[in-house]
Every structure is written in C-alpha cells, then in structure tokens.
Amino acid sequence: MKIHPKLICSFLPLLLLSGCKKSTSTQESGAVKSPATTNAAPPPPASAPNAPSAAPGTVADAGASAETSAKMAAAEWALKQDEIKSDPNGQWAIQATASSTYNDAQGTSGWSANQATGPPNVDKYADDGAAWTSKTPDGGIEWLDLKYPKPVHATEVRVRESCGSGAVIKVEVFDEQGGAHAVWQGNDPTTGLNYLMVKFPKTTFKTDRVKVTLATNVVPGWNEVDAVQLVGTDQ
C-alpha cells in the first residue's frame, strides 16, 4: 500500500503541458542532437483537432461533422498503437532497473521499474501504478535501464509515456561489451498517452539494452513510463 495514494490525472488539456500531480487525499531548439530523428506517434483522440468550420448549415450538421472527425482521429490512433505493439521487429523489455522509484517500490509493486517491462498496459493518460515513476517529482535527472530478450542491430526505440509526457532528454543503447552509445539527445515532443519514437541508422553492433534518461524538472509533476520497445533485426 502506498504512503500517499495517487490522484488520477484529470483535466487533460492542462496535463499535456505538465506532469501528473499527486495528492495527500485518498489517492529541438538549443538541444544537442544526434543523427537520430524523433517524433511522437499520432496524438490520442483527446488531442485531435476540432473539425474544420462547416459551411452554412444547421447546428446538427456541424455537430455530426465534429463527431465524424473525432471518430476518425480515434481510429487512426488505435490503428497506430496496434501497429507498434504488433511490429515483428519490436521487442519489449524483460528486466528493468531505475535511478529511483515512487515509495521505493520493488518487484511487481506499483510504480516500480518492473512496471516498464512488457507491452503497454496503461490505457489512458493518467497516474497509474502500471507504469514506472521516480521517487520524487521535479527532482531532475532520473533514468530507466531496460534489458531485452534478444540482441539486435537496432534502428529505433519507442518510449511509451503515460503521464507527465515530454520529459525524456536522452536515449542510449549498449553494445555487447557494455559500452553506451547515445542514439538521441534533445527535446521530447511527446504529449498525452503516446510514444516518443527515436529512429536512427542501424547500429553496427548488436544490443539488448536501452537506457532512457529523463529531466523530471522539465515537465512539472510526475513523469511516468509505461513501456519501452526496442526495434531491430538480426542482420
């Protein structure tokens, strides 16, 4: 049981600009860049733009148009999430350690590093024990170190952020001798429940380890990671 239960992240528009908040109630600008490219997956339906202004017509027509637009955005988002989860070249972490965990959580406890292993299991942008988060909010540098089943020549890392998105500042992969290689460093564009998608030239070495570094003071509140996918091939 947690010392201070967590408050579900409501008021989504505000949270897209800030991290998750806890309660004591019952519950690329000047950034350094590598050759990697980064972007977020299509935004979740809650972030979808409003429908274009309709030509003169009834209020009902405008409402129907907005509803159709929202449904299309939701469908696009769902398809992209499924495509990522089903990627034959993708694999999910089987072990994880972290710089710290909320309430010093270990093992399978909520908010432990282990919660960032396996495929995504947080289904809405919220403060959720099924994701990893650090011991304190806004403390500065925190990291998540993940191990994968099979070494591959990596081409992409996808970080599924589930609350307080936008705080990742660096992604590294490790060669077979344990040497760290930064494949991306910069400004995280992720908002809402979504992936930071870091693409880079295929590594000449094989890797089965990824380290994700966050600056938790960049996005105020609690910054949570649901899962991290390593993408690559045998050759």
pLDDT in tens, the chain (235 residues): 444 444 444 344 444 445 577 643 333 333 333 457 777 776 665 543 333 333 444 555 666 788 888 898 889 888 999 999 999 999 999 999 999 999 999 999 999 999 999 999 999 999 999 999 999 999 999 999 999 999 999 999 999 999 999 999 999 999 999 999 999 999 999 999 999 999 999 999 999 999 999 999 999 999 999 999 999 999 9
What SS3 state is found at 109?
A: coil
Residue 18's pLDDT is 53
Rounded Cα–Cα distance for residues 97 and 145 (Å): 5
What SS3 state is found at 208?
A: strand
- Kind and range of the H or E run holding 230: strand 224-233
Residue 171's pLDDT is 99
Residue 60's pLDDT is 56
All structural domains of the chain = 89-233 (2.60.120.260)
Residue 34's pLDDT is 44
Residue 59's pLDDT is 55
Greatest alpha-carbon span in the chain = 67
Q: What are phi and psi of 65, to 5 degrees?
A: -65, -45
Please give the torsion angle defined by the CA atoms of residues 58, 61, 63 and 66, in that order, rounded to the nearest 10 degrees: -140
Tally the C-alpha atoms within 13 A of residue 46's C-alpha that lie toward its C-beta. 15
Query: Which pair of structure tokens corresponds to residue 174?
Result: 């490790």
Residue 66's pLDDT is 85
Residue 22's pLDDT is 61
Residue 37's pLDDT is 77
Q: How far apart are the first and last CA of the chain?
A: 46
Residue 85's pLDDT is 94
Query: Which pair of structure tokens corresponds to residue 14?
Result: 């505000």
- Angular region, 150: left φ>0, alpha ψ -120 to 50, beta rest: beta
Residue with tokens 């909320």: 102
Beta-ladder partners of 159: 196, 228
Q: What are phi and psi of 165, to 5 degrees?
A: -65, 150
Residue 73's pLDDT is 86
